[in-house]
Structure 1
């Protein structure tokens, strides 16, 4: 990826997940030498009767709230920078629903970062409307950060590799992230999507084929990033389960937007969706631009 004037885009709303996203986006901006763009969306006013002064008063209060949220977000960027020089910060307020605002803004972003859930969210089980909208319709790399994610800077980057074009984009991104962080890359390939492979299947044959696929997909990238040490994992079932299980040993999970089982028009695969909502580390889904 090349430097883009719109930098690392992050949605802010004052929620705990949003604050976690800002902290992670700040570290990402420092790593990639990018500015941070803080975007706050003010939803449109809907009234059932023509009372103009009420609408104006509501808008004034929303603008004031937006200014406070963005001011706090800027302070968070400064504190999250630690000993490093803080990145340049840009702020933007848009009058639109958060999902559509973030999807539209992602067109010009180097990377887009969001919390799993926003204000009013309950639990961790499901993606919020903004994170879900970005994962289905966003442009370029989309990072999803959980409020309770703990990042070990010495832990490896984990990438899912299945041989699909989307997986190739994820592999390129994962090597770059591992190189910038100075950590290992764990490349996971699942040679079967079923929970229990049928009796009589040639387990050894499929596993060897999986290792060959993994070797082929990694070869060129290992030459380009000789500083990255790669750990290869070949498993026989459910890539989503393995990625989620291994995510607690990684500082970042990277995967494609849909894999070998996806149809041409599929916008988000089941693996990407499940991992993004359940992984125990920040997750980047490499979506096409």
Structure 2
């Protein structure tokens, strides 16, 4: 199955920046790119009956033109890229979560159409980052071009989710020809925690080198009171930060751990949320 890179596009500047990141990701992976616009029925709000009971709304001509223009600009920039455009009747968040069941990667912008300046990650991005069935790339800051310099940064805490993140991070660093930096944040109140933390990093680094012997892998132990703030600070010099979908000791019902949530809202570079691949429908 040739899974595609999927990106939600609504015509807003952040979504068009996200589409550029998605195109580059598709080229790196040798995958097709799907531009998807989820649209709601114009009577979908404040109506006592379900508007879909009387039939699905038709795709709009404006939506079609917006998608085709975006596709044309991406193909012009990345010749040879295979791009498919599609309008789907449904909310954009739910649409992208459903698309993620069959996708290689889903890409979302930091803010959607009409997003408020104070809302660091729009509702669509929040929904997809938490509920995706494949890796989800959150493009932030929303107006930043695709980073070309800097390492791929991965937080390591010994959890299964972090192990998956290390694997995805190694893959990303290999595709980009970048350094892989593995970071463990130790609580400054835990005296004598350096040895276990060093072992954690060494084990993760060995796994990354085992799958990608050509990689330059750096291990960093940082002592700080708040892991989320320390990783946000470290993301300032990275091209990408990879976060597990749950942290160590995370609750099963908590779909996105607190550190991962902080990163998708505040990181200074794009964030890859390392969801495992679900079963394609």
TM-score greater than 0.5 by the shorter chain: yes
SS of residue paired to 2:36 = strand
Taking the aligned partners of 1:115 and 1:125, their CA distance within structure 2 comes to: 12
* 2:72 corresponding residue in structure 1: 75
* 1:206 corresponding residue in structure 2: 193
Say yes or no: does 1:236 pair with 2:230: no
Taking the aligned partners of 1:264 and 1:96, their CA distance within structure 2 comes to: 28
Say yes or no: does 1:156 pair with 2:142: no
Q: Tell me the CA shift for residue 125 of structure 1.
A: 4.3
Say yes or no: does 1:45 pair with 2:39: no
* 1:187 corresponding residue in structure 2: 182
Q: Tell me the CA shift for residue 189 of structure 1.
A: 0.7
| 1:1-289 alignment, distance < 5 Å | 4-46=1-43, 48=47, 63-81=60-78, 85-123=79-117, 125-146=119-140, 147-192=142-187, 197-198=188-189, 201-202=190-191, 205-237=192-224, 238-288=226-276, 289=278
Residue by residue over 1:106-143, the C-alpha shift from the partner in whole angstroms, topping out at 9 and shown as x without a partner, is: 10000000101111112264321111111111111000
Gaps of 5+ in 1: none
Q: Which of 148-157 and 17-26 deviates more?
A: 148-157
Query: How many pairs are equivalent?
Result: 269
Taking the aligned partners of 1:223 and 1:258, their CA distance within structure 2 comes to: 24
Gaps of 5+ in 2: none
Taking the aligned partners of 1:274 and 1:49, their CA distance within structure 2 comes to: 37
TM-score, normalisation: structure 1: 0.87
Q: Tell me the CA shift for residue 150 of structure 1.
A: 4.2
Taking the aligned partners of 1:287 and 1:167, their CA distance within structure 2 comes to: 10
Q: Is the 8 A contact 1:141 1:287 kept in 2?
A: yes
Q: Tell me the CA shift for residue 206 of structure 1.
A: 0.5
SS of residue paired to 1:110 = strand
TM-score, normalisation: structure 2: 0.89
Residue by residue over 1:125-174, the C-alpha shift from the partner in whole angstroms, topping out at 9 and shown as x without a partner, is: 43211111111111110000132224442311111111101111110000
Root-mean-square deviation (CA), in Å? 2.2
Taking the aligned partners of 2:176 and 2:247, their CA distance within structure 1 comes to: 26
Q: Tell me the CA shift for residue 191 of structure 1.
A: 2.3
Taking the aligned partners of 1:64 and 1:49, their CA distance within structure 2 comes to: 27
SS of residue paired to 2:84 = strand
Q: Tell me the CA shift for residue 183 of structure 1.
A: 1.0
Deviating above 3 A after TM superposition, structure 1's stretches of 4 or more consecutive aligned residues are 47-50
Change (3 A) 1:34 1:239: same
Taking the aligned partners of 2:229 and 2:133, their CA distance within structure 1 comes to: 26
Q: Tell me the CA shift for residue 210 of structure 1.
A: 0.6
